[in-house]
Structure 1
Amino acid sequence: MPTHLKTLETHARKALEPALNGQLSPAERISLYKRFLKIEQHRIYLRHRAGAGGLEIARARAGLIDTVVGSIYQAALNNRGGSELPMAVVAIGGYGRGTLNPRSDVDILFLLPRASSKLPKAQQELLQEVLYLLWDVGFKVGHACRSIAECIQEAANDQLNKTALIDARLVAGDAGLFAEFEKRFATDCLDKKKDEFFDLRRQDLRSRHQKYSYTVFLQEPNVKESCGGLRDYQNILWVSRVKRGNSDLRSLVDDRLLTSTAYKEIEEAYDFLHRVRNELHYHTRKGTDQLTLQLQGVVATSFRYPQRGILRRTEEFMRDYYRHTRNIYQHTTSLMEIFEIEQEHKADTRLTSFLTFRKKNREEFDGFVARDGRIYPENNDIFKDDPNRLMRLFQHLQVRGLRLSPPMRKLVKAHWEDIDRPFRYSKANRQTFQAILERKGDVARALRRMHRVGVLGRYLPEFGALDCLVQHEFFHRYTADEHTLRCIEELDKLVGETNPSRAIYSRLFHQIEDAYGLYLAVILHDTGRAENVREHIDGSAMLAARLCNRLQIHGERRSLIMYLVDNHLTFWRTATTRNLEDPEVIDEFASIVKTQSRLDALFLFTFADSNGTSPDSWNSWKESLMLQLYKSTTNFLKSGREQYSRQLDEDRTALRDEVISIMREDYHPDVQRHFERMPAAAFTFRQPQHIVTQVRTIRHFLQREADSNDPNATCIKWIDHPDGGYTEIVLATWDKPLLLEKICCALAAEQINILSADFFTRTDGIVVNIFRINTTNFEPVSDAGLRRRFLETFEKILRSEKHEPELYLRRRVNFLKPRPEQDLPIPVRAHVTNDVHPTCTTVEIQALDRIGLLHDLFHTINRHGLNTAHARICTEKGVAMDTLYITTQNGEKVGDPVVLEHLREDFAKLVERSEND
């Protein structure tokens, strides 16, 4: 047998004997225990590395601590003649449960025969010696010294103390005293106020689940506290102990509250979570519970998932993680509901002893019974008699506002095999499912209940393949199935929406004619992620066509579904990467949507898809781009290209008149010139106050130039937006070579981050550049000193005869990185093409954002003797997504294949540098 597998008792008996004999000095005794701990902890670590289960390792560490604590206690007694004193060393909390992860705290209760304030000196000295030695050996000990009466009082005052004491376990000392504590604790704390304890545990559970969004499918879950985490398992043990007098979940199987399959799933999940937590503690060398993206790759590799790439290994590991946590979440939630029903029934029974008559809240229909807001089976043969009831069940839930009862959930799962090919092709089921999806505003709730009991993925196997599928893209927070359901929830929220900012979406959703087609397209839009195809949209379209065949969907509805699935990213990409002021762009997009009804549906789809991706995916700036594209395309479809251009002219005229009305009369000629000389694109979807700032900035620039006779004069206005976390700067000056590169260089030199930018050049040569910027702490640039330093640096760069960016752009730590380590790479790319824009070469950049990136992009363009005609700069969650439109000096596309290839190589190096900085 390998050395590390020998029993702990054998090792301890031999290794710790000198400490018990009292022949060692205090320093020698500490050294002995440290050496013993180091050896035994390493043996446990080797077992973990060899693939041992999570509970095996956690119990091994608890057993090791028991051995050391018991030895230290006995050694302290031996130092006092070896006579027993009436005191017990009790493990509580996680240590009391006998499952202690590598860096978890050791919580100990010193149980005393009398009040801690009246403890005899001998016992005080014994307690101190044990405690000090534990600290000296290296334990992080949480401790309390209390009598039985004090423990009972603390438990009554604080539920945390009560739950910690539920797990109390004797480690050393007076067994009789501990037995007396257990008896008193059970009588005074567990057998009394059971309902109150249950209500408190239920409230704690709800508040914790609310904090973690009521889902296990978070991108970076907390192994202990998140939904389905270790705390959910422990909570049901506490409740079971109080409610049933037994914390062994196997007893719930005997009581038929839990199936043997469910019990096995819970126990396997609990063991898996402990194994994950063990690895987190070993790797980070601290009590880490947050399973970050970086640590997910570490755990997947340590657990030897066979996939070659770290991304695939991580996806497979997280799929296992989500399945296990979902099992704990669903089964423990069901048990809490069962206990809740029992409590309600008990209360009702007491009430009937006082009331002769009581109105029954009960309804029978279609083989079901509705009672107290939950639906029950009339008998266990209802699905055998009519399998189609499986689908009608969810329609009843939706229409009647009911919840699935625990017995109904068990019965549905027992009939999974009934959801076969004939069931999927059944006309009756097809019509029922369509009716569910046509009930606007109440679809997500029904689909979530179908998904929870495994019906949705079996009825729609295309969606079922997304179950627990990780989307390790930087902007996705949820698994593919959870993301889809949240998108549907976003649509549902639009029914009855009262927020004025959401009025346009609510109106469009109310007016949409084919809610069934829209909801079904949302269900299908990401199904291709489970297919082995390069672009998930292609796979989704293939699966959508197959599903339409099975559900007998034809004609316009089929066309709408296929259109939405095929183009579900088109609206977003166009709005965030293209020049929306260019009529050619609007013309091209209008040719894709073709009709107003399709535009409305795609706009709603994009709204739901973005908001269902993560809570911060939809902000005011991106929404403004979406609205600009929607309104421009609506006008284009309504009036045609010529009328659309005329409408733009009319809008500019109206905007000019409004600006004139709010400015002093001496500014009116400036406003007229500004509208005559500025590109038309500069006025599209601009507020009057924006134009006022531009006009004033230009006047102040011209005044400064006239007063100083300085050809390099500039004027910069600063506008802070604290709510948005950024500052807007408006720059006016004469157009000059390398101007964009120089201002980006100055910003980068002062560690100022560029979020977005717009660049405009008037016909008289004056440029107006608008930047949205923030600090590396993602705050507005409001510090006067930082502003002054930027202006000084910009002046130096602007006036230098030769631009030397290396003097200002020293390589520094990339403070914009989401984490110092990134095992999971952010997808980066540099795509150069002549196929996107009719007159410009397009450069699409996606890279880890860093200070100076935009400068380097412009520097590369200038180095090749090219111009930047337009740029769409966007930063999201630490990732730069920039689109640059460049031309030759003659205003044409870059046609030279050699130059194009050099551009591709140079831009590829830039995004790689961003990843490595």
Structure 2
Amino acid sequence: DQLRDGKEFLSQVRFALHSMTGRAEDRLLFDHQKQLAQLWNVVDGDKLAVEQFMQVYYRWMKTLSQLNELLIEVFEHRLSEEPDSEIRIIDGDFEVSDCRIRARHDAVFTQNPGNLLRLFVLIGNDQLVDRIEPNTQRLLRRDAHLINEDFRASAVNRSLFLEILGVPHNMTKQLRRMSRHGVLGRYLPAFGRIIGQMQFDLFHAYTVDAHTTEVIANTRRFMRADYTDRFPVSTRIARRLRDPRLLYIAALFHDIGKGRGGDHSELGAVDATYFCLSHGLSTSDADLVTWLVQNHLLMSQIAQKRDISDPEEIQRFAETVADQERLDYLYTLTVADIAGTNPELWNAWRSSLMRQLYTETSRALSRGLQNPLGREQVIEATKQAATEALEYRGFLPEELLSAWSTRGEDYFLRERPEDIAWHTEAIADHDIQGGALILVRQASDSPIANATQIFVHTVDAPDTFARICAALESLDYSIHDARIYSDTDGSTLDTFFVLKNDGSTLDAHLDSAVEIKEAIQHSLHHATLKTISRRTPRTARAFTIPTTVDFSQDDLGGLTILEVTTADRPGLMVRLGSVLSRYAVSIQGAKIQTLGERVEDTFFLADETGGQLTDEALIDQLKNDLIAELDGLTQDPDTSSSEHDI
């Protein structure tokens, strides 16, 4: 019946695709998905209509895939099974033959429903078992309905489930098997609701259930030496965790609240608390897991949206974390989550940000929360280290005192001593009245692996930031971090960390440094600011991302934070910078985050006096202008796209 019904559903989808497109279109592209949801009369609710429709689609694909796999395994088993294969009896219910575990009788689950979980405990504890025999799979599917309220309330079954999370072999594989055969979704009904649930965007590469098991897989990988190169910090931390099962449970529940409406972190935390306490974990362990689920997005947001070179920002985060154990668990969960969201998301850039935040927070916790490191201490230490480096190169202390007299404190707070020395030495040999000083170097000399670091010293102007953005975008570079400093002598010192959009490094393009310098010089001195006009990919055009603009005050840093969320498109940073240049505000820094078809940009702004923006009328007008500018961008058609094939 399932095979027939599934075939009928796919036939209807295929017919609808052909009718909509007027051709033999068998690709379920993003824009087609929205149209199909309308044809099926699905309406938006807690989940978008397209997400509801695609959940039905994914569940049918999963069911049909399982049936096909089962059929293939039946054939393989019959063709490969040796008549005289050795049978190893485990007990009265299960035995092993040809590395397959199988039921010894058809009533194995009806007589003892707990075997629905014990089966996976046995597999996870036996390195020689790598498959479930086809008839036993059939029995699993037939009897999974026995997992009901009484089953879930059984202390024996709860103990078995915790055993599964602690098996030494292929624990993630067991969870995936449990999900595939309907066991996991029945034992954890909240997990059952996210099976096949997609998120209609380019950022999340997997359905929520597949993402969850991938995150758990990453936490397991942290325990293995062969993943040290990819996750050097996580593997070191994970091996010293007091109880890795707490990390696995947090990973299992971190997104389980999605699709219900409301804050999925809070909803998932409620489920996690109930699970932990009902499964016999201590109150302190339950509190830790609950806190991790509630805050599983926090570390990523701080690392990518805040100025983590500011000791006060680190102190604030350290106070939230409170102790080293929480920091260790949160770091490993966050890295596992990022790496499990999209194969391309965990890169050297995010790795360096996360490592910096972890290291600085760990130091703050070691000093004690009652002994915070002050800004003055950091500035003094940075100046001292930079002075020593420059004196070694022949600079006199009085020369440095004069050279740095026009610099603001933020420059010495946010820049590294070696970068300050690099800047100072170059500025001493250059007159910006003859043109901007532009320095370019590869990440081997910077804290951001694989990024290109660009330093620009030029005469300050309201549109300097926008002009530099235009130059970099014309060369297909994406800006990930920017630090802007206005000197009291009328000049500006700007640092950019950029990545090539094709993933290549500066070393791969021998002429790139010269090309970057020429492009920036031309943009800075060209009469008209040139904006970028390129086609928006078809995949991105399928999504409607309304622009949101939010202002908040950073009382610790003394700046105003501008957060912009909008659709990604060519020329975006230039447009943003151009609007800001028309107001009496200065950009002190920027954090740029691209999440599929959406960008989340954070700007740190100051008024003409260097303080926070306090004029509400100006803020409202700036907000309206930004929304009007960004929502008014046109999107050209494109024909390239490839998503799901039917």
1:731 lines up with 2:452 in the alignment: no
1:325 lines up with 2:49 in the alignment: no
Which of 423, 426, 429 pairs up with 1:703? 429
1:528 lines up with 2:230 in the alignment: no
CA distance, structure 2, for counterparts of residue 473 and residue 278 of structure 1: 25
SS at match of 2:101: strand
Which of 388, 391, 395 pairs up with 2:121? 395
Supply the AA of the counterpart residue of 2:204. Answer: H
1:341 lines up with 2:77 in the alignment: yes
Which of 802, 826, 833 pairs up with 2:552? 833
Supply the AA of the counterpart residue of 1:618. Answer: W
CA distance, structure 2, for counterparts of residue 638 and residue 267 of structure 1: 63
1:848 lines up with 2:553 in the alignment: no
1:754 lines up with 2:475 in the alignment: no
Aligned ranges 1:289-688 → 2 under 5 Å: 289-301=26-38, 303-308=39-44, 312-345=48-81, 348-349=82-83, 360-365=86-91, 367-401=93-127, 402=129, 403-439=131-167, 442-498=170-226, 499-533=228-262, 535-640=263-368, 642=371, 644-645=373-374, 648=378, 652=382, 656=386, 664-665=393-394
Instruction: Evaluate the alpha carbon distance shift between residue 741 and residue 762 of structure 1 in structure 2; reply closer, same or farther with a 3 A threshold.
Output: closer
SS at match of 1:529: coil
Supply the AA of the counterpart residue of 2:361. Answer: T
Kept in 2, the 8 Å contact 1:297–1:310? The answer is: no
Instruction: Evaluate the alpha carbon distance shift between residue 911 and residue 404 of structure 1 in structure 2; reply closer, same or farther with a 3 A threshold.
Output: farther
Superposed displacement of residue 754, structure 1: 3.4
SS at match of 1:834: strand
Tell me which residue corresponds to 2:585: 866
Tell me which residue corresponds to 2:643: none
SS at match of 1:495: coil
Kept in 2, the 8 Å contact 1:888–1:894? The answer is: yes
Superposed displacement of residue 676, structure 1: 8.7
CA distance, structure 1, for counterparts of residue 504 and residue 356 of structure 2: 27
SS at match of 1:711: helix
Question: Over residues 704-748 of structure 1, what are the superposed CA-to-partner deviations in whole Å (9 max), with x where a residue is unaligned?
Answer: 41xxxx636311133467998875432123444443233334545
Question: Over residues 15-61 of structure 1, what are the superposed CA-to-partner deviations in whole Å (9 max), with x where a residue is unaligned?
Answer: xxxxxxxxxxxxxxxxxxxxxxxxxxxxxxxxxxxxxxxxxxxxxxx
SS at match of 2:70: helix
Q: Which runs of 5+ in 1 are unaligned?
A: 1-263, 353-358
SS at match of 1:365: coil
Kept in 1, the 8 Å contact 2:102–2:135? The answer is: yes
Kept in 1, the 8 Å contact 2:467–2:524? The answer is: no
SS at match of 1:874: strand
CA distance, structure 1, for counterparts of residue 412 and residue 41 of structure 2: 55
CA distance, structure 2, for counterparts of residue 574 and residue 821 of structure 1: 27
Superposed displacement of residue 647, structure 1: 8.1
Instruction: Evaluate the alpha carbon distance shift between residue 648 and residue 292 of structure 1 in structure 2; reply closer, same or farther with a 3 A threshold.
Output: farther
Q: Which has the higher helix share?
A: 1
SS at match of 2:6: helix
SS at match of 1:880: strand
CA distance, structure 2, for counterparts of residue 547 and residue 518 of structure 1: 14
TM-score (norm 2): 0.86
Instruction: Evaluate the alpha carbon distance shift between residue 274 and residue 680 of structure 1 in structure 2; reply closer, same or farther with a 3 A threshold.
Output: farther
SS at match of 1:476: coil
User: Percent of pairs identical after alignment?
Assistant: 26
SS at match of 2:225: coil
Superposed displacement of residue 308, structure 1: 4.8
Aligned ranges 1:106-185 → 2 under 5 Å: none
Supply the AA of the counterpart residue of 1:869. Answer: Q
Superposed displacement of residue 914, structure 1: 4.7
Tell me which residue corresponds to 2:469: 744
Supply the AA of the counterpart residue of 1:295. Answer: H
Q: Kindly name which structure, 1 or 2, has the bigger radius of gyration based on alpha carbons.
A: 1
CA distance, structure 2, for counterparts of residue 338 and residue 284 of structure 1: 39
Instruction: Evaluate the alpha carbon distance shift between residue 680 and residue 632 of structure 1 in structure 2; reply closer, same or farther with a 3 A threshold.
Output: farther
Supply the AA of the counterpart residue of 2:603. Answer: L
Superposed displacement of residue 832, structure 1: 1.6
SS at match of 2:478: strand
Kept in 2, the 8 Å contact 1:656–1:671? The answer is: no
CA distance, structure 2, for counterparts of residue 851 and residue 660 of structure 1: 41
Tell me which residue corresponds to 2:437: 715
Kept in 1, the 8 Å contact 2:468–2:520? The answer is: no
CA distance, structure 2, for counterparts of residue 372 and residue 295 of structure 1: 45
Supply the AA of the counterpart residue of 1:729. Answer: I
Supply the AA of the counterpart residue of 1:539. Answer: L
CA distance, structure 2, for counterparts of residue 566 and residue 624 of structure 1: 24
Question: Over residues 391-430 of structure 1, what are the superposed CA-to-partner deviations in whole Å (9 max), with x where a residue is unaligned?
Answer: 2111111111322211111112222232111111111111
Superposed displacement of residue 565, structure 1: 0.9
Instruction: Evaluate the alpha carbon distance shift between residue 279 and residue 669 of structure 1 in structure 2; reply closer, same or farther with a 3 A threshold.
Output: farther
Kept in 2, the 8 Å contact 1:701–1:733? The answer is: no
Instruction: Evaluate the alpha carbon distance shift between residue 516 and residue 914 of structure 1 in structure 2; reply closer, same or farther with a 3 A threshold.
Output: farther
Kept in 2, the 8 Å contact 1:679–1:760? The answer is: no
Superposed displacement of residue 487, structure 1: 0.3
Kept in 2, the 8 Å contact 1:726–1:779? The answer is: no
Instruction: Evaluate the alpha carbon distance shift between residue 835 and residue 701 of structure 1 in structure 2; reply closer, same or farther with a 3 A threshold.
Output: closer
Instruction: Evaluate the alpha carbon distance shift between residue 512 and residue 727 of structure 1 in structure 2; reply closer, same or farther with a 3 A threshold.
Output: closer
C-alpha RMSD over aligned residues: 3.5
Aligned residues: 623
Superposed displacement of residue 606, structure 1: 0.2
Superposed displacement of residue 897, structure 1: 2.5
Question: Over residues 299-350 of structure 1, what are the superposed CA-to-partner deviations in whole Å (9 max), with x where a residue is unaligned?
Answer: 333x3333158982211221121112112211111111111111122xx24x
CA distance, structure 2, for counterparts of residue 725 and residue 297 of structure 1: 38
Superposed displacement of residue 575, structure 1: 0.5
Superposed displacement of residue 292, structure 1: 2.7
TM-score (norm 1): 0.62
Kept in 1, the 8 Å contact 2:456–2:495? The answer is: yes
1:812 lines up with 2:533 in the alignment: yes
Superposed displacement of residue 888, structure 1: 2.0
Aligned ranges 1:166-205 → 2 under 5 Å: none
Deviates more, 1:649-658 or 1:845-854: 649-658
Instruction: Evaluate the alpha carbon distance shift between residue 287 and residue 676 of structure 1 in structure 2; reply closer, same or farther with a 3 A threshold.
Output: farther
Instruction: Evaluate the alpha carbon distance shift between residue 440 and residue 713 of structure 1 in structure 2; reply closer, same or farther with a 3 A threshold.
Output: farther
Kept in 2, the 8 Å contact 1:849–1:914? The answer is: no
